Amino acid sequence: MLAYSLLDFLWILVILLGSWCLVPSWGVNGVAFSYLLSAGLLTVGGAWYLGRKYREVVSPLERKRGTLRKLLSFALPSFVGGLGSLVLAYTDTLMLTFSRGTSEVGLYQAAQPLAGLLGYFVGALTAALFPLVSEMWTKGERKLVRETTGFLFKSSLAVVLPFSLLFLSFPEVALRLVFGEEYLGSCTALRILSCHAVLWTLLSVMGTVVAGVGEPLLITKTVAWMAALNFFGNFFLIPPFGASGAALTTFLSSFLGVLLLPRYAKKKVGKAPLLPFLKVVAGGILVFFSVSFLKSFFSFSPWLEVLVIFPPILLLYFFWLLEMGVFTEGEKKILFRLLSFRGERS
């Protein structure tokens, strides 16, 4: 697990160092070469590590009757779902280029990676979650899988929501810090994409659980509907609204996915209690209105507003979660059981 966790860090580190060395002389080609270098080094290094530590991975596959069919039954839906994910990932940028030009693409590409930072937590979570869910499901721990799903929904939402509200309330601060004044035109897109990040967090956790219990076809169906909405939404919203239209389409696609995937997976995984989610969302709404009120009350610079307003509001938010009993004693036991599963695996 440590090696897997280091992959993203090393990926970014190689790109950063390569770009720092090559961009002054090669320009944008230096960034492209850094990506190529990072992919090559990590592929070779990862293959070497697997072969050295897990020899069974590189050993010849034992032929058993039905093995290929089982592999294809899982891999083909995942492959088709991956094609739908490509539509979700690149349609907005391509349509922005054709409809509004590269300047609008630049605004959108400023907002998109900033909002994507909110997904770092859930990305690390799902990397560890998939093998745990698969093992629990194989051992017949159906109830634990359902309890874990609800617990991880709440914890992911509770962590991502306040930082999403930070981008929603202070988009200009983040854009000035990272990209400069000329990209402030993407404030609206960043606000919308920060809301999308909350939905994407829930969708990622549910998708990992559904894949872990061996139902990738349900994910493929969901992604297909999302990709269709994404394509037609971009087609109609990008020409009049530009980057904001692309962001709104992305948000609506994720909203559709959050509605569909739990419905498809309800018989297999069950459904989580609604009340704890409403408590977390109510805390987020409280944070948003508190920040909005304080912003209208103070007349500081945006930087000072963030430093003065956000820390006490964040404390208020976590105090709300504790007082409302969002996380119960029983869920602490779930966490210990998950850790025991991980200990058995290692």
Each residue of 268-301: pLDDT tens digit?
Answer: 777 777 777 788 888 888 888 888 888 777 777 7
Residue 201: closest CA among 250, 247, 261, 157: 157
Q: What is the pLDDT of residue 5?
A: 63
- Write the CA distances from 118 to 19, 73, 123, 243, integer angstroms: 24, 33, 9, 19
CB atoms within 10 A of CB 40: 11
Q: What is the pLDDT of residue 65?
A: 62
pLDDT in tens, 40-99: 999 998 888 878 877 766 666 566 666 667 666 666 766 766 777 777 778 899 999 999
Q: 346 or 336: which carries more pLDDT confidence? A: 336
pLDDT in tens, 218-246: 888 898 899 999 999 999 999 999 999 99
Give the separation between CA 147 and CA 152, rounded to whole angstroms: 9
Q: What is the pLDDT of residue 333?
A: 61
The pLDDT of 147-167, averaged and rounded, is 83
Residue 200: closest CA among 76, 117, 271: 117
pTM: 0.81
Residue 312's pLDDT band (cuts 50, 70, 90): confident
Give the mean pLDDT of the chain: 82
Instruction: Return the C-alpha torsion angle 261, 206, 167, 181, nearest 10.
Output: -80
Q: What is the pLDDT of residue 338?
A: 56
- Write the CA distances from 113 to 192, 211, 220, integer angstroms: 13, 26, 25
The pLDDT of 113-131, averaged and rounded, is 75
The alpha carbon of residue 200 and the mean position of all alpha carbons in its chain are separated, in whole angstroms, by: 5
Q: What is the pLDDT of residue 32?
A: 92
The pLDDT of 122-149, averaged and rounded, is 75
Give the separation between CA 249 and CA 235, rounded to whole angstroms: 10
Q: Residue 330 pLDDT more than 70?
A: no
Q: In this structure, what DSSP letter does residue 184 have?
A: G
Q: What is the pLDDT of residue 148?
A: 77
Give the separation between CA 44 and CA 49, rounded to whole angstroms: 9
Residue 329's pLDDT band (cuts 50, 70, 90): low
pLDDT in tens, 190-211: 999 999 999 998 888 888 888 8
| Angle subtended at Cα 167 by Cα 31 and Cα 85, rounded to the nearest 5 degrees | 55
CB atoms within 10 A of CB 42: 17
